[in-house]
Amino acid sequence: MRSILLKRPFCKAVFDMDRLLFILWNLHTLLESLPISSSSHLQLFIQRLHLPPLKSTQLHVMHIPTIMIITLFLWPAHPLLISCIGPLIVPDIISGILYVATTENQRALWPLWVGFSICGFELVSLHAAPFGTISSISPLTAIIIGIAQALALLPGISRLAATCVTGIWLGIDPTIIFYYSLACELPLLLLAVLRARKEFPSFGGSSWLVLLVSAVGAYSMLYLSLAAFTTGAAVFFGWYLLLLAGYLCWFTN
């Protein structure tokens, strides 16, 4: 019976499209606070359960709870972030250039397992990284971090992982680079949501309550991610991604 359901379009067999989007939205909200590439995990989830593929704009609108969560998380540090607005803009400009220079179809050619492998090795490399104490972002550092963030446009590479790992290897204090990475991400999420504003789904009141619970969980997970980078425990996320990449490479090739 299970195999029959999986061969049929899942949303027709079990859920309507709004219900499916709601479930995926909650999953995306929770995973986006972790350095494991939430959108790629969502794509993997959709592929493995034979769900109908989502449009990029449908994925973009799922960033709405994340924008609010990151804003609340960064608010205590907003004076520091405002003082370094220049270095904050540089990574987003570099990401924007790469985004415009490539198409969605070109980026989709990148196998998920390759991206997961790269991201996994990045995180595992923190085992050997000397944790620095630099508290400021120089223009050159911003450019290097911007390149790392731009590469995260490719499937399987987490933007948070790429920027934090790069910053730590450059000697930046892990807490500073974590806040800086989230602040760099915020404008990109805002632009993505504005671009996808026509895809805003219609959920009932109880559904929004469930999404609020997921948002609270995602907010807590940001502190988990921060603790992982400041203590070196982020390497465990790396090992998870390497195992996932190995599984995908073995069973999909």
Banded model confidence at residue 215, pLDDT cuts 50, 70, 90: confident
Number of domains forming the structure of the chain: 1
Q: Is 10 a residue whose pLDDT tops 60? A: no
In a domain, 30, yes or no: no
Average pLDDT, the chain: 83
**pLDDT for the residue numbered 197:** 67
Q: Is 51 inside a domain boundary?
A: no
**Domain-embedded: residue 46:** no
Evaluate whether residue 123 is within a structural domain.
yes
Question: Is the residue at 218 inside a domain?
Answer: no
The answer to whether residue 7 is domain-embedded is no
In a domain, 32, yes or no: no
Return the amino acid letter for 162. Answer: A
| Residue 156 phi, psi (nearest 5) | 95, -10
**CA angle 27–63–148, rounded 5-degree value:** 100
- Of all residues in the chain, what percent are helix, strand and coil, respectively (each to 5)? 75, 0, 20
| Average pLDDT, integer, range 198-212 | 67
Answer yes or no: is 81 within a domain: no
Tell me which residue range forms the domain holding 101.
Answer: 87-181+242-253
Residue 16, pLDDT > 60, answer no
Least-confidence region, from 96-110, 141-155, 217-231: 96-110
Q: What percent of the chain has pLDDT over 70?
A: 85
